Amino acid sequence: QMKLWICLVMLVSFAAAAEDMTGKMFTFPQETNTALVRLNTVYEKSFSAFTVCHRLLSYIHRSFTDLKRDHSLFSLASPANQNEVLIFYDSSKKLLAPYLHNVEIGYGELDYVPNKWHSICTTWNSKTGLGQLWFNGLPMTKKFAGSTINGKPSIILGQEQDSYGSHFDAKQSFVGMMTDVHMWDHEITPCEIQKYAEELSFTPGNVINWAALDFKAEGNVFVESKQVGCNSVCLL
């Protein structure tokens, strides 16, 4: 009976850990090396392909920001590689630069303006080694970016990992709002990416699912309702 009770407690704790974040966002209000969100996943297999999508608004995978300096949008590290998947804005080059297995595939000349919501998706497949950025539902050029991701991933929003799960630089931190973060263990179709960008119904991530998010917020991070106007458009 004791073993059964312990198992039930563990199951309830696990179920309670996942939160439906639909209609909500993370707000990172200040430059710091302590504010971050750790995304937990039970997925421990090697990645031979993936897709990561988010929206952001920065003051920047959907996000909103007004930052004009370097900043990290999504950081996935493995025990062997701190930059297995890093979505990063390089201010000196004016590039939105996914790093896949430490290989930069930068994209410039994008309408990545501050104080506006942007949808960003990144795909990669080990069969070809090709990675690709989708910016606000539009595909960018495919570029070569390496091999399989191995080991349990450490996934962090708001900071770049300079080592596995730690060592953050305030000057690379994200300041703004972020929502609708999803990750899949395969390339989703262009149609699904466009549905995501247009906020239509799409298949949620099987690695990270915003509607069942297991996370731990640390430091000065807030969970807030998305700001939606009468026409259902996200507002500043």
Say if 3 falls within a structural domain: no
Taking residues 19-38, report their average pLDDT: 96
Say if 233 falls within a structural domain: no
Say if 116 falls within a structural domain: yes
Report percent pLDDT > 90 for the chain.
Answer: 57
Q: What is the pLDDT of residues 160-211, one digit of tens each?
A: 999 998 999 999 999 999 999 999 999 999 999 999 999 999 999 999 999 9
Say if 32 falls within a structural domain: yes
Report percent pLDDT > 70 for the chain.
Answer: 84
Task: State the residue for tokens 């998706």.
Answer: 121
Q: What is the pLDDT of residue 1?
A: 52
Q: How many domains does the chain have?
A: 1
Give 231's pLDDT tier (boundaries 50, 70, 90): low
Q: What is the pLDDT of residue 67?
A: 62
Look at residue 4 and tell me whether its pLDDT is greater than 50: no
Look at residue 15 and tell me whether its pLDDT is greater than 80: no
Assign residue 66 a region: left if phi > 0, alpha if psi is -120 to 50, beta otherwise? alpha
CATH for 70: 2.60.120.200
Say if 10 falls within a structural domain: no
Q: What is the pLDDT of residues 120-155, one digit of tens each?
A: 999 999 889 999 999 999 999 999 887 778 888 999
Say if 207 falls within a structural domain: yes
Say if 201 falls within a structural domain: yes
Class of residue 49 by CB neighbours under 10 A (exposed 0-12, middle 13-18, buried 19+)? middle
Give 76's pLDDT tier (boundaries 50, 70, 90): very high
3-state secondary structure of 85: strand
> For the whole model, what pTM was predicted?
0.85
Question: How far is the CA of 12 from the CAs of 5, 187, 208, 215, in angstroms?
Answer: 11, 32, 20, 16
Which range marks the domain in which residue 95 is found? 19-225
Say if 14 falls within a structural domain: no
